Amino acid sequence: MEVFRYTFMQYALINGILIGVLCPLIGVFLVLKNLSLIADGVAHFSFGGIALGIVLGISPNITILLFSIMGGLLVNYIIRRSKLYGDTAIAILLSTGLAIGITIISIAKGTNFNINSYLFGSLLAVDRGELIFALCFGLLVIILTLVFYRSLLYITFDEDSAKASGLPVEILDNLLVFVSAITVAITIRIAGILLASALIVIPVAAGMQISKSFKGTLKSSVSIGVISVIVGLFLSYYLNIAPGGAIVLVNILIFLLSLSRLFH
């Protein structure tokens, strides 16, 4: 436990537990609505925000958040207003974000970019300011999810009936995308762009194997998310590997175990 003598590890652990709760909390709605890939699209679209923030000298946290929200709402708009399937719209969004980021980087030659920590995550990335940023917006996500829990549950399982009952389905759909985008933005600093969506999808996939009810799946998914983050952070510290990779590998191991008879 001597690892907790280091302030950066304390910050990483607090932030890690936060995303361990947030990712499955939002992920269970996305997975059941067949929108698992939207988190991946939003994460990659935020790459443009990272590049823009670094070039302009603005905190990348702010530009990541703005690009994530903008990307999420944009892809949801395209899905609802066009004849494209969700995966096609997400592929367009993903490519757009990467193209924006790469173009900005190529124009701003000579600028000192530290992209690796954003791509793969870093234990050293979370300072006091970023932790406060994550806690504030994480609390916002939790509050919004709890307040609109029943409505989000309704549109997740039966959108047509929800619409017929008078619920503002499109607004609620945008709300789900909004909180998903915030969750992705918070997750990127530890898990990285390339693996942020995995923390939203894999714990839920494992939770669905263990529990049959929605609440049971939610509880199982959050437990798996928190355990995976804590174990992954310790592995990252002691083995000197990227935290994103370590956390996701723990998630995958738990998912594979959930497929066995161990939990049945």
Taking only the tens place, the pLDDT of each residue in 10-54 is 888 899 899 999 999 999 999 998 888 888 889 989 988 888 888
| b/e 13-49 (16+ beta carbons within 10 angstroms → b) | bebbebbbbbbbbbbbbbbbbebbbbbbbbbbbbbbb
Cβ atoms of residues 23 and 203 within 8 Å: yes
How much is the pTM?
Answer: 0.89
What is the structure's pLDDT at 264? 54
pLDDT value of position 207: 93
What are the tokens at 165?
Answer: 């009952």
pLDDT digits (tens, 9 = 90+) for 189-234: 888 888 888 999 999 999 999 888 899 999 999 999 999 999 998 8
What values do phi and psi take at 242, rounded to 5? -60, 130
Q: Which residues contact 92 (CB under 8 A, 6 or more apart)?
A: 75, 78, 84
Say which residue, 150 or 58, is predicted with more confidence.
150
